[in-house]
Amino acid sequence: MNLLFRRASGVGLLLIVLLMAQQYGFSQSVVMARNMQKAPRQLPANSQIKLKDGLDHLKNHFQVDILFEMKVIEGILISSDAINRSQNLEKNLERILKPSGLLYKKVNNSSYLIFENRKPAQKANAREESNDSALQTDEKVEENPRASTQNSDKIREQSQTTAQIDREIRGNVQDETGAPLPGVSVVMKGSQRGTTSDTEGKYTLSVTDQGAVLIFSFVGYMPQEVTVGNQSVIDVKMKADIKALEELVVVGYGTQKKSDLTGSVSSLREKDFNPGANASVDQMMLGRSAGVQINQTSSEPGGGVSIRIRGANSLTAGSEPLYVIDGLPIDNGSLLSASSGGAGTGTNNNPRNPLNSINPNDIASIEILKDASATAIYGSRGANGVILITTKKGNKGKIGVSYDFNTGVQTVPNQMDVLNASQYIQFMNDLATDEGRALDFTDADISRIGAGTNWQDQVYQKAPLNSHNISVSGGDDKTTFFSSLNYFNQEGVVKRSGIKKYIARLNLERKLGDQVSIGININTSLVNDANSIDGVNNNENSGPINSALLYDPTEPVYAPDGQFSQSKNLTINNPMSLVEGLTSSNVTNRTMGNIFVKYTILPGLDAKLNFGSDRQTSRRDLFNSTKTLNGLSAKGIANIATIERSNVLLEYTMNYSRQLTEKSTLNLLGGVTYQYFNNKNFSGIIRGFPSDALSTNNLGLGDTNLDNLFSGQEDNSILSYLSRVNYTLNDRYLFTASLRADGSSRFGANNKFGYFPSVAVGWRLSEEGFLPNFFYDLKLRASWGLTGNQEINNYASLTTYTTGASAVFNNAVLVGTRPSRIANPDLKWESTEQTNIGIDASILQGRISATIDYFVKNTRDMLIDLPLPRATGFNSILSNVGKMQNKGVEVMVSSTNIKKGQFSWSTTLNFAAIKNKITDLGEVTNIITGSIESIGPTTIVTVGYPAFSYYGYEVTGLFQQGDNIAGSAQPGSRPGYPIFRDVNGDNRITPLDQQIIGSPFPAFTFGVSNNLTFKRFQLDFFFQGQQGADMLNINVLESMYPNNARRNRITEQALDRWTPQNPGAKWPSGVQPSAYGGGKVNTLALQDASYIRLRNLSVGYNLPVEKVKFIQSARVYVVGQNLATFTNYVGFDPEANAFGRSNVRIDYNGYPLARTWMLGINVGF
């Protein structure tokens, strides 16, 4: 450990020396948040200087853009002493502008506009002006001349009104927030007639005829054209031109202008998020980014989510991305769920969502880093992609308050189609007849049973949800802050499941003089889950959902004695006894955040020290009461489990930025980071309680002779050195390179450190003179890099021990120990080499834009258990041997389809097609995995095929009467039994006849969103889906191979079963299914999981609150989620996965996806 710290401090000092020695004259440059600026020159004392020089000085000192018309400031002199750098920018601007009759407006946080003080009521005649007096900045930040409209290149003032003028047009011009926008040019198209808006955003212009078209333009905003018609008042809202304003994108350890990106980064802003009361951050971005597949593995409130960025990258290490929240990489491992309960308490392979503790309303942006150029800066944790989550910050200005309220209801849109009571009676009696035994139900039974019980109706409910969120933000020249409080309460559609969340956040930044700033981001949460048992187990351990599908529909809910009824023919529980008698709750406290200090050593050279921490504790209480069969036999089973996780980050970085020429910039980054993780856990199971009354609140009442206790502790750490260079030449040629060295405690002594380089280039062809005017923007990108995956067990490289056989020594029983795993000192992380080629293009003044990427990812050194000779005493050793490939194409297209008057319609489309295959397994022939209780293995990993392909028997048909069954490969079969393909031709059906029967990976995924606005109304709807994926539906296998013949069946399988009268049936006869022969996993249970889903529909209305002084804005809206799913899949959800975040995808006993309607209101004060 000391060695690691010595390395860290040594490299930190070396970075300082190298950067300070880079070039003489560091004091001559400074880096801006938005654009690279020249260093402010020292102003001569007590001298007259040009106003333009004074504005240049202020611009560079305060790191802002100052926009103006050259003619407005030409010839104006000011005193150099009027500029006081110890005061804020606004006071300086007011002092130097007021004597000349000029005003300023703050356009955004880093842009100011200088304009003449025209009186609001003043009428403006047309003005003449030369081309070079258009609005500009000293840096010449302007729209692409090929893409710009001709609305602002000639604004002329005529000396007199012509006889052609026949009427006057007036109106208001506002920005997107409704604030007045001064200085906007208003020109009658095809003429030299024009004006500009005044300080209140008002304008007046005379036009010649009804067919006149007014063009509104302003630096940093998209131009608009409006036909006059018979209107006399035309009000316009200007929309920010993202390209002109140089949108910033968050990247690893910094930000970049979007136009300068060379890597593949998907950037989502608040306008891109899925609307409504999203329970977690992942739901906000679901389906919104190409190549990012987000599956809700469990639809239970707070349930698990699986995110794959450009495919699955690993077999045994994790495939989840790295989450970084405000610069803090967090532990994305699963917390406690209703799992690990021990015998009879139920299990659940779906972990809780690691993002449950984050308030979605606090999110300002989400960046998804996909290619190696973007992710290599995170080294051994970047192979699966990186998701950067940035929370909201405060802005200078008066304090603003925002309140959001949502309320809604959730329902199960479709129940699983199983037999009702009358169908069940008929099926069981028909089956008894076919098997030659007595009928299961007599006429008297049928009369007594009546309509029976729909167990799904009993288990499911209409579930309410509501959310309250309040945020306060503001600041002054030195301090800015953002704070929020959130309460979220969602009941589940399965009774007695749900989640409650209480979340608070504070983000605070303060400047301590001109060189030092400090900040804190802190988030604390309390999450209370009530879990429903689900997962891959059957019988009682599968919980109420599975029981509702399999339980006898002829049984009543309650027996005559008022207790839950119990079928004498089944060993599974009455579903309601599990709802009421099997309870599970989790309480998780989590506090995460970071404190940073930033110091400007020299203009352009910044140092930042960042300390972060993430601490979470969770306790799960699970009680199996005597209302259930297992609980009754054990006199109650109590299980308490706790886990504590802590994560500490210490990080030091230096950043140097320099404007080399007017259009060339250089940025250097270097740093050292150290992160330590510690996990502690405990669980105890006690049986034999005198009463259910105290549940898990007094374990001492149980039989402590039957206890089962476990506790443990693990830790790991990672030390990293990172560096990156970004270079832009002439705003055309872009270069990025990075290198990270990671040292991890998880890997073998011979491979503690790994090195992860990347390089990328870009070419902005739109800046070249030879490109046709057709393109508004065009950029080519190419990148290559190496990233790693260290998501394995903390001690996988070491020999570990477990309890062994006991021995008697001196009349005492001694517990022995034995090694459970053999050490591998050469163990290292999996490495992913990725090549990416991309293109960014836009046309029609940016109305249509597209991003296309083609990538190839080759993962090598995959961690696989290699078999060992039996003489070693071990079965296998974890080694780096396998290889996997993912390659594909991603497309993102956005368009403004219509923008006319007060109506607009825009569309965004994303598409991704990714192919996965195993290219090498070393000495291993194949890996058979995905085992499910009573079913067996379900998937295989083998060379040349996708990972975790479905593995089973192909059903070619059903045996018919008259077939030569005795001479077939299944001589013990009978008419109505399935025919399995004899793959190896040995005339027997054995495990050697299993084959790959499908792939869990879709051929392509897509999402399409549309946004329409008309006056105060907004309509958004978003479709998302996948095509070509298979899903192994274990519910179908349960119905084909029931553990008990009296279990219920899927309706189609029962009613369309083979009989002599129905020889063309799809499904086997159901007669003695255990004698079908062959294995259980087969093509009849493999289903097409393609779907198209109306994921979101939102209708909103902005209330007219302009005359209400204390209300800035108010909006009401209705949101629907998961409103319709178009699919041939017969399960609850084609996204479900009983194996949680594993790449094995199985649908079994899944929590149903809810349809949700919400009503909400947002008010800003």
Query: Can you name the residues that pair with 664 across neighbouring β-strands?
Result: 661
Query: Can you name the residues that pair with 592 across neighbouring β-strands?
Result: 523, 614
How many Å apart are CA 907 and CA 1072, to the nearest integer? 55
Residue 136: its pLDDT value, please? 33
Q: Does residue 1036 contact residue 1053 with C-beta atoms inside 8 Å?
A: yes
Nearest to 779 by CA among 762, 798, 799: 762
Architecture of the domain defined by 120-245 = Sandwich (2.60)
How many Å apart are CA 118 and CA 196, to the nearest integer? 9
Nearest to 1099 by CA among 1008, 1018, 1011: 1018
Instruction: Measure the CA angle with vertex 692, ends 691 and 698; round to 5°.
Output: 85
Return the residue matching tokens 């549940």: 695
Q: What is the 3-state secondary structure (H, E, C) of 634-645?
A: HCCEEEEEEEEE
Grouping H, G, I as helix, E, B as strand and the rest as coil, residue 163 is: coil
Kind and range of the H or E element at 830?
Answer: strand 830-843
| Tens-place pLDDT, residues 44-65 | 777 788 888 888 888 877 777 7
Grouping H, G, I as helix, E, B as strand and the rest as coil, residue 449 is: helix
Domain spans, the chain? 35-116, 120-245
Give the Å distances, CA to CA, from 281 to 27, 135, 559, 755, 849. 42, 41, 45, 32, 26
Structure tokens at 341: 């309960």
Kind and range of the H or E element at 1046?
Answer: none
How many Å apart are CA 696 and CA 640, to the nearest integer? 7
Instruction: Measure the CA angle with vertex 144, ends 138 and 148; round to 5°.
Output: 110
| Tens-place pLDDT, residues 934-943 | 777 889 999 9
Residue 725: its pLDDT value, please? 96
Query: Can you name the residues that pair with 739 across neighbouring β-strands?
Result: 723, 757
Residues in the chain: 1165
* Chain centroid offset of residue 328 CA: 16
For 600-627, give one letter per residue: b (16+ CB within 10 A) or e.
bebbbbbbbebbbbbbbbbbbbbbbbbb
Q: Does residue 639 contact residue 687 with C-beta atoms inside 8 Å?
A: no
Instruction: Measure the CA angle with vertex 746, ends 745 and 748; round to 5°.
Output: 90
Q: Residue 646 burial (CB < 10 Å; 0-12/13-18/19+)?
A: middle
* Chain centroid offset of residue 95 CA: 48
Are 35-116 and 120-245 equal in CATH topology? Answer: no
- Say what the pTM is: 0.79
CATH code for the part of the protein at 35-116? 3.55.50.30
Structure tokens at 127: 């003005």
Residue 121: its pLDDT value, please? 38
Sorted by sequence, the CB contacts under 8 Å of residue 561 that are 6+ apart come out as none
Structure tokens at 873: 């005493």
- Angle between helical axes of 51-62 and 89-97 (0-180°, round to 10): 170
Structure tokens at 143: 């729209």
Query: Can you name the residues that pair with 911 across neighbouring β-strands?
Result: 891, 1006
Sorted by sequence, the CB contacts under 8 Å of residue 6 that are 6+ apart come out as none
Kind and range of the H or E element at 1040?
Answer: helix 1034-1040
Q: Does residue 594 contact residue 653 with C-beta atoms inside 8 Å?
A: no
| Tens-place pLDDT, residues 765-782 | 988 888 777 888 899 999
Grouping H, G, I as helix, E, B as strand and the rest as coil, residue 910 is: strand
Residue 625: its pLDDT value, please? 92
Q: Does residue 8 contact residue 38 with C-beta atoms inside 8 Å?
A: no
Nearest to 349 by CA among 621, 582, 542, 590: 542
How many Å apart are CA 688 and CA 635, to the nearest integer? 5
Structure tokens at 95: 């002092």
What is the full DSSP assignment across 1096-1158?
EEEEEEE---TT-TT-SEEEEEEEEEEEEEEES--SS-TT--TTTTSS--EESSPPPPPEEEE
- Note the helical H segments in 963-1031: none
How many Å apart are CA 231 and CA 210, to the nearest integer? 8
Q: Give every residue of the chain whose pLDDT is below 50, as ranges.
A: 1-39, 120-165, 244-245, 337-349
The torsion angles phi and psi of 690, rounded to 5 degrees, stand at -70, -20
